[in-house]
């Protein structure tokens, strides 16, 4: 019998990036945080189990604030801990290293909590909207590995992800005629302007337009258990290559494992496009826009007018 997909939420950076647990600052009309909306949308899409990847340093406040609400929402809650010393045999943490080892490493630390189930992965501090969770849950429920890994990614339309308050970085996707991912190219300076959206790679000397309906990756992925095995197999090689040249800051990124599997021909990554608007708080000014959008969605009936849980 096929195992039900589970949801994995990468939250190990909550303390370091925001000072304490600022990422659970209220944005919803009843004090909800962004992560609460992800839990709500995932639960109604069909997810019943959530794995939070955190650090031991934030364990107590996280469980009290976020974990308790996940239980209230009806989830089975599991925890994994992304610690620096979780390394392959023969490797040690370099002196002075404080930076986490990256998003692919985060998934490796959750291997036991994930088990043999297919799983979706999201960031803790992004609002994805309900459609993405439904798309990835349905795909994971109906696809399994064959000759190649059967992975998926929920893409968003670029125009639904840019900020009016400054430049953003986005993974621009190229797909084939079957909506399978061919490549993801990181564009680190994308901005809207009066005539559209454009990016620069030389500090603004030259700009190239991107259509608003360009599909971009916002780190909502769907994986079979094969992802964990693949990432695990490549981690030691990554460390051998990168530790000598960048011991304090090199990171093992989730998309790099995907790209390597694509290049080897070991995976198909089906791109599922969500029509929802993505929200994040890249800039301080982004928060009022998100707060207003969530209030509108509550008034329109997309979310309860009262509390999401309880």
Residues found in the chain: 310
- Return the H-helix or E-strand segment holding 59: helix 59-62
Inform me whether the pLDDT recorded for 24 exceeds 90. no
Inform me whether the pLDDT recorded for 213 exceeds 70. yes
Q: Cα–Cα distance between 33 and 31 in angstroms, integer?
A: 7
Q: Can you give the pLDDT at residue 284?
A: 84
Q: Can you give the pLDDT at residue 244?
A: 96
Inform me whether the pLDDT recorded for 19 exceeds 70. no
Tens digits of per-residue pLDDT, 109-147?
999 999 999 999 999 989 999 999 999 999 999 999 999
Weakest-pLDDT range from 19-33, 69-83, 169-183: 19-33
Q: What is the mean pLDDT of residues 224-233?
A: 95
Q: What is the mean pLDDT of residues 249-262?
A: 94
Q: Can you give the pLDDT at residue 309?
A: 84
Which is higher by pLDDT, 20 or 81?
81
Q: What is the mean pLDDT of residues 63-87?
A: 94
Q: Can you give the pLDDT at residue 14?
A: 62
Write down the pTM of the prediction: 0.94
- Any alpha helices (H) in 188-225, and if so which ranges? none
Q: Is 185 exposed, middle or buried (0-12, 13-18, 19+ CB in 10 A)?
A: exposed
Residue 127 half-sphere exposure toward CB, CA atoms < 13 A? 28
Inform me whether the pLDDT recorded for 13 exceeds 90. no
Q: Can you give the pLDDT at residue 251?
A: 95
Q: Can you give the pLDDT at residue 21?
A: 63
Q: Can you give the pLDDT at residue 26?
A: 86
Share of the chain above pLDDT 90, in %: 84
Burial 89-98 (b: 16+ CB within 10 A, else e): eeeeeeeebe
Average pLDDT over the chain reads 93
In 10 A of CB 196, how many CB atoms? Answer: 11
State the SS3 of 227-295: HHHHHHHHHHHHHHHHCCCCCCCCCCCHHHHHHHHHHHCCEEEEEEEECCCCECCCCCCHHHHHHHHHH
Q: Can you give the pLDDT at residue 61?
A: 86
């Amino acid at each position: 019998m096929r195992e039900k997909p589970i949801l994995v939420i990468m939250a190990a950076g909550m303390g370091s990036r925001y000072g304490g647990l600022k990422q659970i600052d209220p944005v919803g009309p009843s004090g909800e945080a962004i992560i609460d909306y992800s839990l709500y949308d995932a639960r109604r899409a069909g997810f019943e189990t959530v794995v939070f990847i955190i650090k031991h340093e934030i364990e107590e406040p996280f469980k009290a604030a976020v974990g308790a609400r996940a239980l209230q929402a009806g989830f089975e809650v599991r925890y994994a801990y992304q610690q620096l010393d979780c390394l392959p045999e023969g490797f040690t943490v370099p002196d002075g290293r404080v930076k986490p080892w990256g998003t692919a490493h985060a998934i490796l630390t959750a291997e036991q909590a994930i088990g043999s189930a297919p799983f979706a992965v999201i960031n803790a501090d992004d609002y994805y909207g309900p459609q993405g969770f439904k798309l990835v849950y349905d795909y994971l429920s109906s696809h399994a590995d064959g000759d190649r890994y059967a992975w998926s990614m929920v893409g968003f339309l670029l125009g639904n992800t840019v900020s009016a308050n400054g430049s953003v970085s986005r993974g621009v996707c190229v797909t084939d005629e079957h909506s399978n991912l061919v490549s993801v190219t990181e564009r680190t300076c994308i901005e809207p302007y009066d005539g559209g959206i454009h990016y620069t790679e030389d500090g603004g000397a030259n700009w190239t337009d991107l259509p608003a309906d360009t599909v971009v990756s916002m780190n909502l992925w769907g994986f079979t258990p094969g992802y964990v095995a693949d990432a695990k197999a490549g981690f030691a090689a990554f460390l051998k290559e990168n530790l000598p040249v960048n011991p304090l800051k090199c990171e093992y990124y989730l998309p790099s494992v995907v790209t390597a599997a694509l290049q080897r021909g070991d995976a198909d990554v089906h791109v599922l496009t969500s029509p929802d608007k993505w929200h994040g708080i890249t800039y301080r000014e982004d928060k009022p826009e998100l707060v207003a959008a969530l209030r509108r969605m509550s008034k329109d009936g997309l979310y309860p007018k009262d509390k999401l849980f309880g």
